[in-house]
Chain A
């Protein structure tokens, strides 16, 4: 999957996570609080994981390119 698409999915997941967290803060009753602390934080973690995946893939690609240039030289 392309990095931009991954980051778009990550951004949407973050929005969903933030929505759950803000809901729990504005209406602190058991259901919103539990959803925010479980589903909300799970979505946020997945979103950040996708962002990390994009960054790591970019770094690996850059590292391979540098290694290729060195080998050519």
Chain B
């Protein structure tokens, strides 16, 4: 969602502007501290900034779902580029070409499922920022790709919420039918090598190259 289409962003900018006008009037004109001045400041210092924060938070949450946000850290840039590459055949890129994923394709797959999915996803995102700021900010991208691992196995529930294991088109595939219980309870990952993964073409290939180089 861009600056021109997100109503929360527009509202936040409007309320911030109005607040600045009131504050500038108070600081530059220096009016007497009457009841009217205090009411004006209630808007300038209180209500309008609160509205800015509320709308800004919602706009911020929308912004943090965008692929451009995820790939703004240099270590994630190759992942974002791959998802946008129309010639890429990676699982991530093929899903990103689906209109339902669009510009939120990182978030759509990596968000946790369930009632508190959004909250746990945002907490996980905070951990990403923490790790990036303290450990990976200056790391060369080749080193990063060779060492990075997803923190916990990619949950099949994320895939299954679209690709239902009860759909006839899914169960008629022999590999699915033979492993249906292990797929449902997550013992075998949909994104494992040999099945549909790896989802991104970098990490595992880079690790294999490194291992081959370091081997006897």
Interface residue ranges, A against B (CB under 8 Å)? 3-4, 7-8, 10-12, 14-15, 17-18, 21-22, 24-26, 28-30, 33-34, 36-37, 40-41, 44, 47-48, 51, 54-55, 58
Contacts and interface: CB of A to CB of B under 8 A. Distances in A.
Given A33-B64, A36-B60, A48-B46, A18 B26 contact: no
B49 A47 contact: yes
A40 B16 CA distance: 13
B46 A15 contact: no
B12 interface: yes
Contacts of A36: 56, 60
A51 B33 contact: no
A18 B19 contact: yes
Contact of B72 (A4, A30, A54): A30
B190 interface: no
B23 A28 contact: no
Contact of B66 (A26, A28, A40): A28
10 contacts: A8-B26, A11-B27, A11-B45, A21-B56, A24-B60, A25-B59, A30-B69, A47-B49, A48-B49, A51-B42
B44 A25 contact: no
A26 B56 CA distance: 10
Contacts of A47: 45, 49
B73 interface: yes
Given A22-B16, A26-B3, A33 B60 contact: yes
Interface of B: 3, 9, 12-13, 16, 19-20, 23, 26-27, 33, 38, 41-42, 44-46, 49-50, 52-53, 56-57, 59-60, 63-64, 66, 69, 72-73, 129, 132
A11 B69 contact: no
B45 A51 contact: yes
A37 B66 CA distance: 18
B122 to A, nearest CB: 10
B49 A25 contact: no
B64 A28 contact: yes
Given A12-B27, A24-B60, A33-B60, 8 more contacts: A7-B26, A15-B23, A22-B16, A25-B60, A25-B63, A33-B64, A33-B69, A44-B50
